[in-house]
Structure 1
Amino acid sequence: MSESTEHLVKSFDNDLKRLRDMLTEMGGIVESQVAMAAEAIMNRDSGAATRAVEEDPKVDALEREVEQFVIRMLALRQPMAGDLRRIVGALKITSDLERIGDYAANVAKRSIVLAQFNLPYSLAGLAHMAHMVQDQLKSIIDALGSSDTEKAVEVWRSDRVVDDIYNALFRELITYMMEDPRNITPCTHLLFIAKNLERIGDHATNIAETVYYSVEGEVIPDVRPKGDTSAYAVVRPKE
């Protein structure tokens, strides 16, 4: 290998490392947002909610930075095969991370409103769901940084559990709303919070699929796991 070729290869490797570092930085901020949003709900912590919302512009700025960097790499490096998959996959991953940040900010904003109500029921189910989603996010960011396809598949498969928790919460909250009209407003906010958490799980699953494809060059060889769909059924009051 000539000196100039070796220099180009090393320079390209440095670009790939920088791209991976930007993705993991973005993932770390988003992970922190989700953790603060969960804390805001469970502990009625308006400070944590505010911090979660304030982090959102940083995520948006990093998404734009990654997009510009990827465009530059595509134009100057003309990557092929696995390198091309990783670079194009980075665009998809940043889009998913940006959406996760948006959902975390939405959860945080609703937690501030929810803190105004005295809730006559436990938030244990919601806490469990938030914990599951945080675990998903942490695992997929670790998998992203190390190109760990086994961990990506684990995250991908865990989505069914999150869906099942969401569906159980949906039915529980609808029951509370039917039993007492005073529960309608707080339960509506809780429904939106639960849905936002479920969507965070979906985007973590999207990232898992992208990580797997970027490394292996093929899709995960299985049907995408989904929980039951009973949350979308019409709920009728007892006669």
Structure 2
Amino acid sequence: MTTPHEHIVTGFDDEQRRLTAEIVRMGEMAAAQLEAALDVVARRDDRTAARVVANDDAIDALEQEVSQDVVRLALRGPLARDLRVILAALRIAAAIERIGDYAANIAKRSAALALAPPLPQVEALCALGTEAAALTRHAIAAYRDADTGAARRVREADARIDAAYSTLYRELVEAIEHEPRIATSATHLMFMAKNIERIGDHATSVAENVMYLVSGEDDLPPREKRDDSPSLAP
């Protein structure tokens, strides 16, 4: 016969597994959203861009489900480590939701970009975005597997995205200086690149919360940053 304590523990574990699965699904959706936005940019497909933007609602809805599941877990009167599960889940879901938002922003700007002649820097933008999507998937896998080693590698890899973003930013500034008529298109690319750089930051936030979840490590040393470009509104 199951004791009340065992019932509570089993119920908590079941709900935690459900919560983890929802967050993993949410992360996969956000990464796919970014990849779809990049495809729209590369193909200059403004019709598909609208669908990518609309898909962001599904990520937002899933974040609400995660929040409700977190509340149910909290009402079970969890122990200290269980509280880390709850807090990390909230932080990670919020980071993934922002990744989805940034992917939608990229798709929105692609519609305007498609109206102007293509710029060669689009290729570098898509390469940057592909790396950010991969980083997001690695961060989600680290959460799924409670793998602090993988989480640390994600945290370290974000510096490469920073560096690539800074390089692309400088190239776009130089392109505008040499050919002012492309200023509007190049500015759209700058903001899209900044969105991608911020996606890398949020993937890193997921990784840092994996480290907090597993080890309670919440006071990490400053990570390496290689973004030396002027600040842009995200």
Equivalent AA in structure 1 for residue 185 of structure 2: P
1:25 aligns with 25
* Aligned counterparts, 1:26-175, within 5 A: 26-75=26-75, 77-175=76-174
Q: Residues of 1 paired with 2:185 and 2:192: CA distance?
A: 11
Tell me, in whole angstroms, the C-alpha distance in 2 between the residues paired with 1:63 and 1:11: 21
Residue of structure 1 equivalent to 2:193: 194
**TM-score w.r.t. structure 1 length?**
0.91
> AA paired with 2:30?
V
- SS of match in other structure, 2:163: helix
1:4 is matched with: 4
TM-score, normalised relative to structure 2: 0.93
**Alpha-carbon distance, 1:198 to partner:** 0.5
| 1:87 partner letter | I
Instruction: Determine the C-alpha separation between the residues in 1 that align with 2:118 and 2:152.
Output: 37
Q: CA deviation digits over 1:22-50, x for unaligned, max 9?
A: 11111121111011011111122334422
- SS class of match (1:219): coil
CA contact (8 A) 2:121 2:168 kept: no
2:25, 2:118 → 1: CA distance? 37
C-alpha separation in 2, matches of 1:47 and 1:35: 16
Query: 2:91, 2:44 → 1: CA distance?
Result: 34
- Conservation of the 8 A alpha-carbon contact between 1:114 and 1:186: yes
Deviations 1:71-92 (A, max 9, x none): 22212x1112221101111111
Distance verdict in 2 for CA 1:48–1:139, change over 3 Å: farther
Aligned equivalent of 1:237:
none
Partner of 2:230: 232
Aligned-pair identity in percent equals 41
| Cα drift, residue 228 of structure 1 | 4.2
Q: What whole-Å deviation, never above 9, does each CA across 1:115-150 have from its counterpart, x for those lacking one?
A: 111135342321221111011011111111111111
Answer whether contact 1:42 1:127 (CA < 8 A) is retained. yes
1:232 aligned partner, one-letter code: P
Structure 1 residue runs of 5 or longer lacking an equivalent are: 234-239
User: Take 1:107 and 1:69, find their aligned partners in 2: how far apart are those partners?
Assistant: 30
Query: How far is the alpha carbon of 1:215 from its aligned partner?
Result: 0.7
Deviation at 1:221, TM superposition (A): 4.9
Distance 2:35 2:51 in 1: 11
| 112-121 or 84-93: bigger deviation | 112-121
- Structure 2 residue identity aligned to 1:211: V
Unaligned runs of 5+ in 2: none
CA distance in 1, matches of 2:219, 2:156: 10
- The answer on whether the counterparts of 1:29 and 1:55 sit within 8 Å (CA) in structure 2 is no
- Verify the 8 A CA contact 1:153 1:220 in the aligned structure 2: no
**Number of aligned positions between the proteins:** 231
Other structure's SS at 1:5 match: helix
- How far apart, in 2, do the equivalents of 1:185 and 1:170 lie? 14
The secondary structure found in structure 1 opposite 2:25 is helix
Q: 1:188 & 1:210 partners in 2: Cα distance?
A: 33
Q: Is 105-114 or 211-220 further displaced after alignment?
A: 211-220
Matches of 1:65 and 1:147, distance apart in 2:
21
**Contact 2:37–2:49 at 8 Å: present in 1 too?**
yes
In structure 2, how many angstroms separate the alpha carbons of the residues matched to 1:142 and 1:37?
22
State the secondary structure of the residue aligned to 1:116. coil
**Cα distance change on mapping 1:4 and 1:53 into 2, 3 Å:** same
